[in-house]
Amino acid sequence: MQPPAQPLLLTRRSIFAQAWPIMLGQTTVPLVGLVDTAVIGWTGDAAALAGVALGVAIINFIFWAFGFLRMGMTGLTAQAHGRGDRPEVNALLARGVVAGLAIGAALVALQLLIVPVALAALAGGGSLDAAAREFVSARFLGAPAALGFYAINGWLYGLGRTRDTLWLQVAMNAVNVAFDLLFVWHFGMGARGVGLGTALAEWVALGLGVFAVLRIAGPGALAGQRAGFFEAAAWKRLFAVNADIMIRTVALLALFLWLANAGARLGTVQLAANHVLMQLVGIFAFVLDGFAFTAESRVGIAVGSGSRADLKRAMRLTGEFSLGFGLLATIVSVALGGHLIDLLTTNDAVRAAAREVLPLAALAATVGVPAWLLDGVFIGATQGRALRNAAILATLLYVGTDLLLRPLGAAGVWLALLASYFYRAVTLGAHLPRLFASVAEPPPRP
């Protein structure tokens, strides 16, 4: 059996070596979304395009509510790896994949109840609902694979195997694009074709992920240690950590739903302008996730090995890179953001509205850094309660801030979003002393 990767030295070079594959892989995520939109958009079927957009919102909310299968797995795996507990590393993988497959199967079984409720809540109506239902029903077929793949990705991140996650991400996205073209353009399946293509790509990704973990840890990886796999305390900890992370994720999803509603309140033009600018913010977040995910792994290893010094060094090094790239992203966005706006929309009114608040959107790359990085720190430390409380408080404060800033119009919407990152960072930062205290200093050398 090939042992899991040994922890790398905590140097700037090793941090960047671990982060760049994540950054590159993450950039493919919005690109696939653009291809999905273009494939169905070029058919000229406006109802199908709108239905896919509505369906994506539903699927993202439902599937990502179970994103703890990725995040919780990263922290727990990194800590077991830091302790040198190889049997637990393998058992965690087995538990995570089994949990993902089981939850995904439950979603498939419950979709007849979930989909009508979701469509009613979003109130699309008519042909829009019909197209969204076709897309969502097809996507649900991939739910077990998607959630099982979350667990595999989290396990690989926990071990620092970011190059493996890169090729898996690229392979899944390439297959997704190929199936979209086949089902939509060749077979004329419309919205259902886009959903089915993504679902099949998720099953391909799960298969490739299983191959990857077997190559890394040996044929017994998914079987784990039988006693360890069924250990009640380990399952209890897995779901305790993940329950808090799930609440945290739902709170943040609610925040962004409120943000979308805030834009809609200002009219169609401003809503469209905010959507264009959120593509810019999404790129920031995806790229800077490279350092947040690296922090998850490095912090988890430091906590598992019981080294407060390594914990602080991991935070400092990932923080340096995050802040540097965040500042660079803000500068580039201010300088070139207008060109991106022109690329994404031809509507003059939308272009003008987006340019008015572009500087505030660009600031998200810098203002959001502490919140995104501390998220990674507390995920790696499996401090789910801190993540949960920070997300709930930040969301509540954000809603209050948005209400107070409504007289400022579009500027108020973006200022409230920036404030939400500040609230989350401050709340998580307040938990740092307790985190440091929980990790013992190594004994002095004789």
Q: Which residue among 230, 261, 294 closes a domain?
A: 230
Q: Domain check: are 339 and 369 in the same one?
A: yes
311 sits in which H/E element: helix 308-344
Q: Note the pLDDT of residue 4.
A: 42
b/e per residue, 354-365, with b = 16+ CB within 10 A?
beebbebbbbbb
- Alpha-carbon span 295 to 318, nearest angstrom: 6
In a domain, 2, yes or no: no
Q: Note the pLDDT of residue 442.
A: 56
> Token digits for 281?
């913010």
Q: Domain check: are 191 and 162 in the same one?
A: yes
In a domain, 314, yes or no: yes
Contacts of 101 by beta carbon, 8 Å cutoff, 6+ apart = 144, 147, 148
Amino acid residing at 214: L
Q: Note the pLDDT of residue 65.
A: 82
Q: Which residue among 187, 204, 230 closes a domain?
A: 230
In a domain, 236, yes or no: no
Q: Domain check: are 333 and 223 in the same one?
A: no
Q: Domain check: are 199 and 324 in the same one?
A: no
- Alpha-carbon span 94 to 224, nearest angstrom: 6
Contacts of 84 by beta carbon, 8 Å cutoff, 6+ apart = none
Q: Note the pLDDT of residue 180.
A: 85
Q: Domain check: are 245 and 226 in the same one?
A: no
In a domain, 262, yes or no: yes
Does the pTM surpass 0.85? The reply is no
Q: Domain check: are 271 and 221 in the same one?
A: no
Structural domain count of the chain: 2
Q: Domain check: are 200 and 256 in the same one?
A: no
Q: Domain check: are 269 and 408 in the same one?
A: yes
Residue 88 lies in domain: 8-230
- Alpha-carbon span 55 to 36, nearest angstrom: 12
Q: Which residue among 230, 263, 288 closes a domain?
A: 230
Return per-residue pLDDT of the chain as tens, 446 residues. 344 444 456 888 888 888 888 888 777 766 666 666 667 666 656 566 666 767 777 887 888 888 888 888 898 899 988 888 888 888 888 888 999 999 999 999 998 888 888 777 665 556 667 777 888 889 999 999 999 999 999 999 999 898 999 999 889 988 988 998 898 888 878 788 888 998 999 999 999 999 999 888 776 555 545 556 667 776 777 777 778 888 998 898 888 878 877 876 787 778 777 777 877 787 778 788 889 889 989 999 999 888 898 999 999 999 999 999 999 989 988 988 888 788 766 778 888 988 999 999 999 989 999 999 999 999 999 898 999 999 999 999 999 999 999 999 989 999 999 999 999 999 999 999 999 998 876 555 44
DSSP state of 220: T
Question: Which is nearest to 149 in space by CA: 164, 137, 129, 133?
Answer: 164
